């Protein structure tokens, strides 16, 4: 199978989806390919902090300035993905006055609004701060939903005629006469609306230009093209607490160090992080001491964390880049700036540009610079409009309020639906018939889930990214089955089962790092519900046996079974009679 496009973008993280949107809005024919789901890489495994730039105001002022510029833009164009929580840099008794002062001055030099709060004022903002804190600097940090933001960028790309292809890993970069002319992908999509090609089928996609936005994997794409890209992947752990112990981003005001930030995120608070170089962005140790360190260190700032319930932990890998011969030994010293590598100038290989490094917060700026560059290469004269045109869902906040009134929505559930859907609230919630809550922890209604299934088909992890269903306290224990039920009857039973397994497995990956206290009880309950009560692990339908559905009602075969006369009857608990 062969196809062609103007620009082929590799990578469905913030950088890739941002680039695809930017180019599509300039009228460029663009195709994005992603090996997993959107946000499959680092973007789906970050802290969710919309940086004010305060974090880099001493160590990396270039990044700090970029962050505050983009912080202001994203509040405008992606209001339904951003919660302006505000942030505090908190000084503890052992933290130096000199550094506090440097941070304050650094913020002001970088145009980051910064105000000093006394300990009493800081505790008025955040009552659970430790009683011995000395003072704090208030900055405009926020929380941002990476999943919603990337999906909005992808939807905007499609609205402008672009093609988004998930579950399509690039397996080769196509070269002709010393020039990159496209890529080869393998389609791994399953059945249902996820189908774009046939599973296992390869597709050669020819392009006028290829953009390598594969994050920590950019080096691997470089290898396929025969060029060296010195990515220095660095892992960091994040631990999710079951409630928002704080409503403001809390940073420890000290030079770089592990476990120095808490980000309130939707219904949870995320503790982080570490910074340790790894060889392979997909294969590295996930160690318990890293999780323990988060709680041990951060409880000094917010003591109530010690009594709180840990839901799960996850790790992400920073796509840090180090220009050749820099020779930085400590990963924490590698710059957070982004780099645009024109392989024609750099390696004498026309047809491909790589973009690597940077922050999630600066994704739009990265996309703008990259798109300017590609347009110049291709002789396209079109302005970037992404700083002004809102993302889908963020167009008109007045529409939201009208929709709230129209639907009489005042409950917390409605408020959260509105936050998630933005200006699409009216369109999505306007359904015939009842609209119950399916995911109780996150307050996600059936209408939202059906809408997400319409967009992403049978991939329940993609539905999760769009809605947050299954990401709350029960970690899918109660709702994932109900989510799978919504796939039927449009999709066959076997597809719904597979989708359910994939979703449940994805949740388990993070939960297994939090098996103590109440979360252990929750995990045991989830096991009891799914493996025992629902018999998910030995369900005859999964084992390829025929289910005698008549045995479930009062029919003839049911009574035959009750008396033990049914031939090879399957009991209602799924086991064979007498097992
Ligand atoms: C622990 C941690 C915390 C962080 N916290 C924050 C924060 O709070 N705020 C902030 O602004 N930034 C934060 N960052 C940084 C931020 O997450 C990253 O800079 C950003 O997400 C990188 O996005 P990306 O699109 O460049 O890479 P990715 O999101 O990794 O996207 C690259 C994509 O390419 C795909 N890909 C790879 N190989 C192939 C292939 N062969 N074929 C097709 N697709 C392929 C991958 O699956 C992936 O989805 C954090 C990073 C880490 C590690």
217: Cβ below 6 Å to ligand 1?
Answer: yes
Confidence bin at 541 (pLDDT 50/70/90): low
pLDDT tens column, 14-36? 999 999 999 999 999 999 999 98
Q: Closest Cα to atom 9, ligand 1: which residue?
A: 49
Phi then psi dihedrals of residue 448, to 5 deg = -65, -40
In this predicted structure, what is the pLDDT of residue 567?
39
| Rounded Cα–Cα distance for residues 470 and 548 (Å) | 32
Residue 192 has pLDDT above 80, yes or no: no
C-alpha 491 – ligand 1 centre gap (Å)? 32
Buried b (16+ CB within 10 A) or exposed e, 271-301: bbbbbbbbeebeeeeeeeebbebbbebbbbb
Separate counts of helices (H) and strands (E) for the chain: 18, 22
C-alpha 46 – ligand 1 centre gap (Å)? 8
142: Cβ below 6 Å to ligand 1?
Answer: no
**HSE-CB for 192 with a 13 A CA cutoff:** 23
Q: Which 3-state string (H, E, C) describes 11-72?
A: CCCHHHHHHHHHHHHCCCCEEEECCCCCCCCHHHHCCCEECCCHHHCCCCHHHHHHHHHHHH
| Rounded Cα–Cα distance for residues 269 and 212 (Å) | 33
Confidence bin at 394 (pLDDT 50/70/90): confident
Pairing of strands 163-165, 30-33: parallel
386: Cβ below 6 Å to ligand 1?
Answer: no
Asked which of 44-48, 81-85, 517-521 is least confident by mean pLDDT, the reply is: 517-521
Q: Which atom of ligand 1 is nearest to the CA of 281?
A: 30
Answer yes or no: are the C-beta atoms of 143 and 264 closer than 8 Å.
Answer: yes
| Rounded Cα–Cα distance for residues 33 and 491 (Å) | 25
In this predicted structure, what is the pLDDT of residue 566?
41
Phi then psi dihedrals of residue 3, to 5 deg = -150, 175
pLDDT tens column, 252-279? 999 978 999 999 998 889 999 999 999 9
Ligand 1 pocket test, pick from 214, 291, 321, 364 with the greatest ligand atom count within 8 Å of Cβ, gives: 214
Q: What is the mean pLDDT of residues 482-490?
A: 93
Strand partners, 352: 210
Q: Closest Cα to atom 19, ligand 1: which residue?
A: 359
Site of tokens 């008109």: 396
Answer yes or no: are the C-beta atoms of 478 and 440 closer than 8 Å.
Answer: yes
Answer yes or no: are the C-beta atoms of 270 and 240 closer than 8 Å.
Answer: yes
Ligand 1 pocket test, pick from 41, 239, 283 with the greatest ligand atom count within 8 Å of Cβ, gives: 41
Answer yes or no: are the C-beta atoms of 449 and 472 closer than 8 Å.
Answer: no
Residue 239 has pLDDT above 50, yes or no: yes
Q: Which atom of ligand 1 is nearest to the CA of 185?
A: 42
11: Cβ below 6 Å to ligand 1?
Answer: yes
| Rounded Cα–Cα distance for residues 412 and 420 (Å) | 12
10: Cβ below 6 Å to ligand 1?
Answer: yes
What is the overall mean pLDDT for the chain?
88
C-alpha 431 – ligand 1 centre gap (Å)? 36
pLDDT tens column, 275-318? 999 999 999 999 999 999 999 999 999 999 998 999 999 999 99
Ligand 1 pocket test, pick from 215, 282, 321 with the greatest ligand atom count within 8 Å of Cβ, gives: 215
Q: What is the mean pLDDT of residues 477-486?
A: 94
Q: How would you classify residue 548: left for phi > 0, otherwise alpha for psi between -120 and 50, otherwise beta?
A: beta
Residue 372 has pLDDT above 50, yes or no: yes
C-alpha 528 – ligand 1 centre gap (Å)? 35
Answer yes or no: are the C-beta atoms of 104 and 137 closer than 8 Å.
Answer: yes
* Tokens found for residue 322: 């180090």
Q: Closest Cα to atom 35, ligand 1: which residue?
A: 11
318: Cβ below 6 Å to ligand 1?
Answer: yes
Answer yes or no: are the C-beta atoms of 416 and 442 closer than 8 Å.
Answer: yes
In this predicted structure, what is the pLDDT of residue 331?
66
351: Cβ below 6 Å to ligand 1?
Answer: no
In this predicted structure, what is the pLDDT of residue 532?
77
Answer yes or no: are the C-beta atoms of 44 and 94 closer than 8 Å.
Answer: no
Residue 411 has pLDDT above 50, yes or no: yes
233: Cβ below 6 Å to ligand 1?
Answer: no
Q: Which atom of ligand 1 is nearest to the CA of 15?
A: 25
Residue 194 has pLDDT above 70, yes or no: no
- Max distance between CA atoms of the chain, in angstroms, equals 85
Site of tokens 């955040």: 126
Answer yes or no: are the C-beta atoms of 122 and 135 closer than 8 Å.
Answer: yes
C-alpha 13 – ligand 1 centre gap (Å)? 6
Cis bond before residue 489 (omega within 30° of 0) = yes
215: Cβ below 6 Å to ligand 1?
Answer: yes
To which H or E segment does residue 554 belong?
none
236: Cβ below 6 Å to ligand 1?
Answer: yes
275: Cβ below 6 Å to ligand 1?
Answer: no
Pairing of strands 268-272, 234-241: antiparallel
Which residues does 110 contact at the CB level (< 8 Å), separation at least 6? 53, 57, 61, 64, 65, 68
Which residues does 454 contact at the CB level (< 8 Å), separation at least 6? none
Q: Which atom of ligand 1 is nearest to the CA of 273?
A: 1
In this predicted structure, what is the pLDDT of residue 109?
97
169: Cβ below 6 Å to ligand 1?
Answer: yes
106: Cβ below 6 Å to ligand 1?
Answer: no
CB 118: neighbour CB atoms within 10 A?
A: 12
67: Cβ below 6 Å to ligand 1?
Answer: no
Residue 413 has pLDDT above 80, yes or no: no
Q: Please, what sign has the CA dihedral across residues 319, 325, 327, 333?
A: negative
Q: Which 3-state string (H, E, C) describes 392-431?
A: CCCCCHHHHHHHHHHCCCCCHHHHHHHHHHHHHHHHHHCC
């Amino acid at each position: 199978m062969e196809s062609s496009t103007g620009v082929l973008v590799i990578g469905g993280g913030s950088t890739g989806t941002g680039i695809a949107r930017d180019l599509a809005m300039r009228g460029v024919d663009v195709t994005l390919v992603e090996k997993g789901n959107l946000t499959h890489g680092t973007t789906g495994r970050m802290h969710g902090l919309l940086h004010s730039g305060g974090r880099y105001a001493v160590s990396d002022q270039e990044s700090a300035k970029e962050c505050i510029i983009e912080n202001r833009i994203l509040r405008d164009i992606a209001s339904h993905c951003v919660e302006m929580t505000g942030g505090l840099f908190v000084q503890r008794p052992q933290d130096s006055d000199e550094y506090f002062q440097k941070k304050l001055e650094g913020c002001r030099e970088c145009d980051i609004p910064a105000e000093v709060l006394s300990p009493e004022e800081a505790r008025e903002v955040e009552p659970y701060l430790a009683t011995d804190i000395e003072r704090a600097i208030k900055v405009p940090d926020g929380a941002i939903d990476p999943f919603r933001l990337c999906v909005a960028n992808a939807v905007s790309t499609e609205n402008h005629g672009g093609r988004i292809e998930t579950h399509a890993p690039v397996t080769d970069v196509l070269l002709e006469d010393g020039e990159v002319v496209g890529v080869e992908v393998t389609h791994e999509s399953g059945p249902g609306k996820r189908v774009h090609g046939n599973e296992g089928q390869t597709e050669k996609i020819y392009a006028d230009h290829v953009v390598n936005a594969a994050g920590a994997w950019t080096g691997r794409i470089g290898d396929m093209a025969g060029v060296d890209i010195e990515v220095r992947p660095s892992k960091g752990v994040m631990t999710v607490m079951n409630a928002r112990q704080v409503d403001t981003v809390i940073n420890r005001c000290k030079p770089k160090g592990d476990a120095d930030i808490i980000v309130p995120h939707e219904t949870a608070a995320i503790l982080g992080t570490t910074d340790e170089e790894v060889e392979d962005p997909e294969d590295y140790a996930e160690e318990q001491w890293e999780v323990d360190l988060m709680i041990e260190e951060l409880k000094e700032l917010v003591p109530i964390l010690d009594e709180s319930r840990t839901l799960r932990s996850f790790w992400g890998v920073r796509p840090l880049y180090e220009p050749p011969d820099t020779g930085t030994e400590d990963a924490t010293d590698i710059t957070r700036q982004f780099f645009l590598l024109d392989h024609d100038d750099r390696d004498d290989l026309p047809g491909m540009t790589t973009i690597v490094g940077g922050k999630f917060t600066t994704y739009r700026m990265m996309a703008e610079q990259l798109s300017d560059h590609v347009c110049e290469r291709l002789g396209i004269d079109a302005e970037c409009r992404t700083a002004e045109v809102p993302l889908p869902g963020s167009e008109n906040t007045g529409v939201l309020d009208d929709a709230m009134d129209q639907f009489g929505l005042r409950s917390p559930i409605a408020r959260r639906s509105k936050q998630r859907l933005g200006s699409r609230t009216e369109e999505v919630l306007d359904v015939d018939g009842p609209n119950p809550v399916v995911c109780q922890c996150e307050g996600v209604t059936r209408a939202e889930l059906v809408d997400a299934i319409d967009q992403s088909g049978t991939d329940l992890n993609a539905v999760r990214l769009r809605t947050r269903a299954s990401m709350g306290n029960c970690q899918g224990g109660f709702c994932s089955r109900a989510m799978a039920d919504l796939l039927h009857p449009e999709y066959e039973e076997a597809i719904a089962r597979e989708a359910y397994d994939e979703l449940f497995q994805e949740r388990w990956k993070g939960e297994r790092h939090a098996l103590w206290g109440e979360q252990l009880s929750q995990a045991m309950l989830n096991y009891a519900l799914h493996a025992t009560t629902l018999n998910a692990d030995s369900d005859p339908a999964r084992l390829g046996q025929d289910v005698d559905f008549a045995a479930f009602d009062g029919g003839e075969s049911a009574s035959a079974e009750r008396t033990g006369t049914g031939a090879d009857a399957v009991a209602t608990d799924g086991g064979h009679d007498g097992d």
